[in-house]
């Protein structure tokens, strides 16, 4: 009887600990297309220049980190990962 009571108490404690956890939020940032607006002859960045196909400019460049910052400040992640 005493053994059953101990096992029940341990199982109940484990269940409480499992369900009392807060959700874990993970955020991923893809930095693959995060180019500045200055031409670098050693990289293939012509598409992301102001006169390139994507018309990449300083306003677009500045908007990306501002968007990330706003996202993280309203709902901060448990883990943030930067991917290339």
Task: Considering only residues 51 and 35, tell me which one the structure prediction assigns the higher pLDDT.
Answer: 51
Which DSSP state fits 48?
Answer: G
Contacting residues for 61 by C-beta, under 8 A, at least 6 apart: 34, 35, 36, 37
* pTM score, whole prediction: 0.52
4-17 average pLDDT score: 72
- What pLDDT is attached to residue 12? 73
- What pLDDT is attached to residue 23? 74
- What pLDDT is attached to residue 30? 75
- What pLDDT is attached to residue 20? 63
DSSP count for the chain of H helices, then E strands: 2, 2
Which DSSP state fits 21?
Answer: P
* E strand segments, 4-70: 26-30
CA atoms of 48 and 69, how far apart (whole Å): 22
30-45 average pLDDT score: 81
CA atoms of 46 and 54, how far apart (whole Å): 9
């Amino acid at each position: 009887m005493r053994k059953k009571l101990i096992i029940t108490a341990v199982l109940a404690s484990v269940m409480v600990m499992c369900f009392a956890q807060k959700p874990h939020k993970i955020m991923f940032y893809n930095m693959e297309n995060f180019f500045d607006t200055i031409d670098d002859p050693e990289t293939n960045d012509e598409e992301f220049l102001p006169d390139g196909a994507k018309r990449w400019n300083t306003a677009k460049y500045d908007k990306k980190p501002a968007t990330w910052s706003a996202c993280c400040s309203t709902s901060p992640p448990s883990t943030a990962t930067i991917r290339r």
